[in-house]
Amino acid sequence: MNVFNSALTQLKRGAKYINLPPYFIDQLSFPERTITLNFSFKKDSGEVEIIKGYRVQYNNLLGPYKGGLRYHQDVNMDEIKFLALLMVIKNAIVDVPFGGAKGGLAIDPKSLSEKELERLTRLFAKELAPNIGPMRDIPAPDVNTNSKIMDWFADEYIEVKDKKQNVENKDQLKAVVTGKSLQNDGSKGREQSTGMGGFFVLEELIKRVGVKKPLTVAIQGFGNVGSNMAGILHDYGYKVVAVSDVKGGIYDSSNTGFNIDLVRECRLEKGMFAGCYCIGSVCDLAKKYEDGIITNEELLELPVDILIPAAIENVITSKNASKIKAKILFEMANGPTTAEADQILNKRGILVVPDVLNNAGGVIVSYFEWYQNIHSEKWSLEKVNRGLKEKMVKAFEKVWKIYKEKKVDLRTAAYILALQRLAEAKPDL
């Protein structure tokens, strides 16, 4: 089953528990608008390449379309549709006034120079400009995109708008995109928000399932989400015993746990964008931990308390689901578990805590950033984190209540909550 269809299956599973008109589920089964772009891009060498770009504006019942931009060679329409649908569900679960969208470019950003990356991002922003805006559709970072890329994107969008008509308040127009740098009116706390939000949910969960700290954790992916989550968990006494990036990982079988600051420092030393390029830090650290080198596949099957996939989709499948040894699978990546694997894990009694709840911290702080831009405000980090915690804990409590009352798995409970919110907003036909 492809990723989009597996998300639809989950949506329909949730819909069985609430009384909804059939047309409403049909409406949610299709994106409202899909945009495919083919544009010519001149490389530094003078060679011209045709690049495919996508934006899916899935549903805007709850507010302007909102969702990240992914730069990856495997990006395709089916994946973007799937990720856009997840944004609809996620935004409804954490109660932010946004609909769902997603976009991306089918390129390998590691193959581009920084100048090429900027030119391509500006081209993408120009092409999308007629269809996006602070009250219409608001992109953000995702895999291989970061605050620098968002800054270029916002700058180009404002230039396009300014050329058409003189823009009075350019600063407010920056709300067209979130995840910008602090110097360019980004929000304090946005960089760590997805990991921090996940941490708030995990702490609530731990209180309820009765497992005792210190807990061992394996994390796949060391980009924005994985590295921040690793750092926060380390700071709060969890034993992060395995980490990895696309090249592989390291495992501390003594269960002492890595010093995550060292891992991060090592990456900083390389002077690369976090998450945009492989900087080989894990590979270097692996040398220090000699016997601890593992593959990404091995990481998923380690005997740990908590497994956190925080890289890409479809890493836990029917092939490896029976080999997962963690007690809790805490999804931070979008769609890391296939529908078939989900069923196997549920049967095996492994507690699967879903992406649409756990990784919503990013979009919550994106909402705060958008709000600050629109209202010309600047919030303190304390205010951002207080707001983030409040929203994450409230969403978790609601999902947990449905999970207990309806005796469904946590993913179905999360989808039920989202559908309840979306149904309240649906217009009478």
- Residue 58 or 129 having the CB closest to ligand NAD: 58
64 binds ligand NAD (CB under 6 A): no
Among candidate residues 80, 76, 52, the one with its CA nearest the CA of residue 67: 80
For ligand NAD, which residue of 100, 104, 139, 275 counts as binding (CB under 6 A)? 275
Output phi, psi for 344, to 5 deg.
-60, -45
Of positions 296, 338, 385, 412, contacts ligand NAD by CB under 6 A? 296
Q: Does 144 bind ligand NAD (CB under 6 A)?
A: yes
Among 79, 116, 142, 409, binds ligand NAD (CB under 6 A): 142
Region binding ligand NAD by CB under 6 A among candidate stretches 54-62, 170-178, 222-230, 320-328 = 222-230
Q: Which of 143, 204, 150, 180 lies closest to 335 in space, CA to CA?
A: 143
Count CB neighbours of 406 within 10 A.
14
Instruction: Find the angle CA(174)-CA(32)-CA(22) to the nearest 5 degrees.
Output: 135
Query: Which position among 6, 10, 121, 220 is part of the footprint of ligand NAD (CB under 6 A)?
Result: 220
Q: Which is nearer to ligand NAD, 129 or 309 (CB)?
A: 309
Q: Does 61 interact with ligand NAD (rule: CB under 6 A)?
A: no
Contact with ligand NAD (CB under 6 A) among 3, 240, 310, 402: 310
E strands along 206-260, which residues? 216-220, 239-245, 248-251
The one-letter amino acid code at 228 reads N
- The answer to whether residue 333 forms part of the interface with ligand NAD (CB under 6 A) is yes
Ramachandran angles phi, psi of 274, nearest 5°? -60, 125
Residues 6+ apart with CB under 8 A from 231: 195, 260, 261, 264
In whole angstroms, how close is the CB of 88 to ligand NAD at the nearest point?
A: 14
**What are the CA-CA distances from residue 196 to residues 191, 371, 386, 405 (Å)?**
9, 20, 11, 28
Give 25 or 274: the residue with its C-beta nearer to ligand NAD: 274
Polymer length in residues for the chain: 429
Region 343-362 residues binding ligand NAD, contact defined as CB under 6 A: 359, 362
Q: Among residues 14, 31, 53, 141, which is the contact residue for ligand NAD, using CB under 6 A?
A: 141
Please identify, using beta-carbon distances, which residue of 129 and 195 lies nearer to ligand NAD: 195
Residue 378: how many other CB atoms lie within 10 Å: 11
Q: Which is nearer to ligand NAD, 221 or 257 (CB)?
A: 221
Binding span for ligand NAD by CB under 6 A among 107-115, 223-231, 371-379, 405-413: 223-231
Q: Which is nearer to ligand NAD, 129 or 286 (CB)?
A: 286
Asked if 197 is part of the footprint of ligand NAD (rule: CB under 6 A), the reply reads no
Choose one: 128-136, 220-228, 264-272, 416-424; the region binding ligand NAD (CB under 6 A).
220-228
Which residues have a catalytic role annotated?
A: 102
- Asked whether the beta carbons of 425 and 62 are under 8 A apart, the reply is yes
Instruction: Write down the least CB distance from residue 405 to ligand NAD, Å.
Output: 28
**246 touching ligand NAD, by CB under 6 A:** yes
Please give the Cα distance from 139 to 141 (Å, whole number): 7
**Residues with Cβ within 8 Å of residue 251, at least 6 apart in sequence:** 218, 241, 242, 292, 293, 294, 298, 299, 302
Q: Fill in the per-residue mask, 362 to 401: x = in contact with ligand NAD (CB under 6 A), - = not in contact.
A: x---------------------------------------
Token pair, residue 31, equals: 């994106």
DSSP 357-378: HHTTHHHHHHHHHHHHHHTT--
Contact call for residues 218 and 304 (beta carbons, < 8 A): yes
Q: Least distance to ligand NAD from the beta carbon of 404, Å?
A: 26
Interface residue list for ligand NAD (CB under 6 A): 141-144, 194, 220-226, 244-246, 275, 278, 296, 310-312, 332-334, 359, 362
